[in-house]
Structure 1
Amino acid sequence: MERAKARTSRPDSGWRRKFMVEERSVPFTERKRLYTTAWVLIITGLVLFLVVLIGVLTHSGFQRLDQPVETWFLAHRSTTVTPLMIALAIAFGPVTLPIVVLVVVVVWTIRARHAWRPLLLAAGMVTGLVFAQVLAPLVRHPRPPIGSMLFGADSSFSFPSGHVLGTADFLLLLAFLIASRRRKRGFTSTAVCVAVVLILAQVVSRLYLGYHWISDTTASLALSMVIVGIVMAVDTARTVRVPGERVEGGHSQTQVDEA
């Protein structure tokens, strides 16, 4: 009887531990740096987004770059580059990217000691989706002419770019949530560089294929900065502990889970 009870209680206790928020010990200066970076991202992203939004609503300022940038991309299209741009649009599009995110979140949740990071990734992605769905019908920014689109017609509103927002959120959040636990400067630099290159490639793809203006993609980058900054601040507040700091319940976990 006692063995049976032990066997049945183990899965429950393990499942409860998985959904306990992980805690990690870092120097005070590192925690300060994390908070500073988070607030810089949030404030910079908000300011940039408001600048672009005001320009789009008033047809002035940053929005004046839309037509010249579109004209430049139209003039530099080639049969060699077009397939690559289409591949990027598919890889990070509204069909493929949600599947990739779902697989990553589910597998990561199952394999990780704590489910905090994959659930935080999922929350960040959902937040970006909500922003895109709410803002588009409110701003009502029309897309470039259908005749300039290279991968089928799309008459929906274009502000912000869902492709760019989803790509930026996924890659930047994933880079932060992994690199912040590994705490290796080389790995962090590489992860951020790869994320930035792929995000910029997606921006170029949306402009090249004729589905967005530069104001749409810039607004998406700004929103992603805000989302990543908020996730970084929440993660730091909930998981980071300075050595010697009192933790509620008298429990402090300093071992880093690199799963």
Structure 2
Amino acid sequence: MTTETRQRHGRLRRFNERFLVEERVVPASARRGLQLASLGLVALGLVGFVVVFDSVVEADDLSRIDAPVEAWLQTARSDWLTVVMSVIAVVFGPVVMPIIIVVTTVGWGVLAKHAWRPLLLAGGMLLGVIIVQVMAPLIDRERPPAQDMLMDVDTTASFPSGHVMGVADFLLITTYLVFSRHRSARIAALAYSAAAAVVALTAACRIYLGYHWATDALGSIFLSLVVLGIVIAVDTWRTVRVGSPAEVAASERDAERPGNEGLG
């Protein structure tokens, strides 16, 4: 191996160690908990999606809630609420949402000087987009009637909802990647609750505006749980190392030092 080759390999190794390698030293029980959580989310998401999908295909069971939910939300329509819902639809729509994702991932990587979690967020989002783009045309479910749509008419396939899945993927993955490194279970629970509330609001928005059925949103949320489970599994495999009590304590002290908090 030439000197130039060794130098190149050395630069690549330093780049990898500085920007891509992230290690968390945890007790064996914590690692098992993360593995079980990832498996549980994937299983719950798959089973839930299959149940919803079957009801959509057969037009029975859960799909019977679609018309009543749409009618109930439409009876609540008012000028001010329509404006609010329209703003939400634009912010979490196909134009603004990608900008939010790019700014978040790039800004996170630059500020934290670390690329692992931003890359994992981007990868999870890309996986969600691929799932929707592949499944929606194959299932080809019709949207609610065009006369019920309050903005532009959309004739693309309705199931699953790309809007709802995009927001759910972004918020759930980001919440995990940030608060899985946070020691306060209460703060993490509040963060997940806030993310779930925004996802529910987005789902209600899509139904209110006349673009989706309730089961479209529900199926998308179950798929997002699958994506979240995959992200947790990859992150655990890549970053988590089981250590002794002394190593765990040292790792926690290092994480609490100034400059190591938050998104870093």
TM-score by length of 2: 0.87
Mapped pair 1:226 → 2:214: no
2:177 is matched with: 177
Comparing 55-64 and 153-162, the one that deviates more: 55-64
Q: Secondary structure at the match of 1:25?
A: strand
User: How many aligned residue pairs are there?
Assistant: 245
Q: Per-residue CA shift, 1:47-79, capped at 9, x if unaligned?
A: 010011111112222122211211111222112
The aligned counterpart of 1:143 is 143
Match of 1:116 in 2: 116
> What secondary structure does 2:80 align onto?
coil
Q: Which residue of 1 aligns with 2:236?
A: 236
Q: What's the offset of the Cα at 1:142?
A: 0.5
Aligned counterparts of 2:183 and 2:165: Cα–Cα separation in 1:
26
Structural RMSD (CA): 2.1
Tell me whether 86-95 or 107-116 shows the greater mean CA deviation. 107-116
Alignment of 1:36-75 (within 5 A): 36-75=36-75
Q: What is the one-letter code of the residue matched to 2:131?
A: F
Taking only the aligned residue pairs, the percentage that are identical comes to: 43
What are the within-5 Å matches in structure 2 for residues 1-259 of structure 1? Answer: 15-244=15-244, 254=251, 255-256=254-255, 257-258=260-261, 259=264
Deviation at 1:183, TM superposition (A): 2.3
Cα distance in 1 between the residues matched to 2:82 and 2:140: 28
Shift of 1:94: 0.6
- What per-residue deviation string (whole Å, max 9, x for no partner) do you get for residues 108-166 of structure 1? 12222431100000000000000111111100000000100011111111111111000
In the alignment, structure 1 segments of 5+ residues that lack a partner are 1-7, 246-252
Deviates more, 1:195-204 or 1:15-24: 15-24
Q: Is the 8 A contact 1:48 1:222 kept in 2?
A: yes
Contact 1:17 1:114 in 2 (8 A): no
8 Å contact kept, 2:27–2:244: no
For 2:107 and 2:10, the matched residues in 1 are separated by: 21
**Structure 1, 232-241 or 162-171: larger mean CA deviation:** 232-241
What's the offset of the Cα at 1:195? 0.5
Q: Distance in 2 between matches of 1:191 and 1:84?
A: 23
Structure 1 residues 174-183 or 117-126, which shifts more?
Answer: 174-183
Answer whether contact 1:127 1:227 (CA < 8 A) is retained: yes
Change (3 A) 1:26 1:55: same
Residue aligned with 1:241, SS: strand
SS of residue in 2 equivalent to 1:29: helix
Letter in 1 for 2:169: D
Taking a change above 3 Å as real, the CA distance of residues 18 and 96 of structure 1, as seen in their structure-2 partners, is farther
- Tell me how far apart the structure 2 counterparts of residues 129 and 157 of structure 1 sit (CA, whole Å): 14
Report the equivalent of 1:249: none
Q: Secondary structure at the match of 1:157?
A: coil
